Amino acid sequence: MNFFHKYRFPIIVALFLLGALAYFSFSAGKGIDRVPGGRYVMELVGPAQRGVTGVGQWFNSIWRRYFALVQAAEENERLRKQLAALGQRVVDRDELELANRRLNKLLNFQKGLDYPMAAAEVMGDDPSGRFQTVIVNKGSAAGVEPLMPVVNAEGVVGRVIWASPHYAKLLLLIDANSAVDVLVQRNRARGIVEGGGGGVLRLKYVIHTADVAVGDKLITSGAAGVFPKGVLVGTVSAVHKEKDGAFQRVEVSPAVDFGRLEEVLIILHRRNLDG
């Protein structure tokens, strides 16, 4: 009751307008002159009807905009997925092209070495981090055995330390337990390259008077029948000729980028290579 007393005037006006609209609607087919008070009703109903129509149009506009936004969002999501798919296709294409380049380079290198080889893909490295080793996807079923030398198109990678039927573990040249007999390509000075840790190598047992300079290329000597002769091992990066001692201290940058090692060639011989 209090509510009616408080809002009785707006309620009465609203009821009057609704009644007028209903009366005017039912009498719409008779013509305005044949409806009692039709002209006056028109004057009263016109503004109200215009307001109702405006509100309806406003809601209709909001509704259309909402659906337009929904459709735009759906279209954007569809286009985003298409763009992502196209981006992945580009990545896949580039990866395939790079893989083909590496494999072609590896194949050309393999043709230059007249030895039976097994191409293998690097599957992972040593999870303990204690040793510089990797696992490859070729094993004894492909003829791989321990002590077999491993190379790629860049140079010496390391050697096999064990093999299962379908996998093998390689000890990389940069491991502290690795060693290979080498020659300085320029003047045939001899030494042993060992893993120095931190991705570097050391050339050891080079006599103090030997001519070794920064930039010299080191190649395998073929001694001990492990690696074929002439495979690139690394490049001299620093030479320290100390006053005391019979040998020089020489640092070597490996020819192989071990941080990007993906494919290797396992030479399927352990002995009787050219010396």
Parse the chain into domains and list their residue ranges.
Answer: 1-112, 118-275
- Considering the chain, what percentage of its residues have pLDDT values greater than 70? 67
What's the pLDDT at 51? 60
> How many angstroms separate the first and last alpha carbons of the chain?
115
Closest among 260, 271, 227, 225 to 125, alpha carbons compared: 260
- How would you class 242 by CB atoms within 10 Å of its CB: exposed for 0-12, middle for 13-18, buried for 19 or more? exposed
What's the pLDDT at 223? 81
What's the pLDDT at 83? 78
Radius of gyration of the chain (CA): 43
What's the pLDDT at 73? 80
Residue type, 230: G
Within its chain, how far is the Cα of 1 from the centroid? 74
**74 vs 274, higher pLDDT:** 74
* Rounded distance between C-alpha atoms, residue 26 and residue 30, angstroms: 9
**Residue 32: pLDDT band by 50, 70, 90 thresholds?**
very low
- Structural contact between residues 148 and 267, judged by C-beta atoms closer than 8 angstroms: yes
pLDDT in tens, 183-223: 999 999 999 999 987 778 999 998 888 899 999 999 999 88
What's the pLDDT at 34? 52
pLDDT of residue 33 exceeding 80: no
What's the pLDDT at 22? 58
- Structural contact between residues 147 and 225, judged by C-beta atoms closer than 8 angstroms: no
What's the pLDDT at 273? 46
pLDDT in tens, 140-166: 999 999 999 999 989 999 999 999 999
State whether CATH 3.90.1150.10 applies to domain 118-275: no
Which phi and psi angles does 151 have, rounded to 5°? -135, 175
Alpha helices (H) in 113-221, listed in sequence order:
none
What's the pLDDT at 13? 58
pLDDT in tens, 37-52: 545 555 555 565 566 5
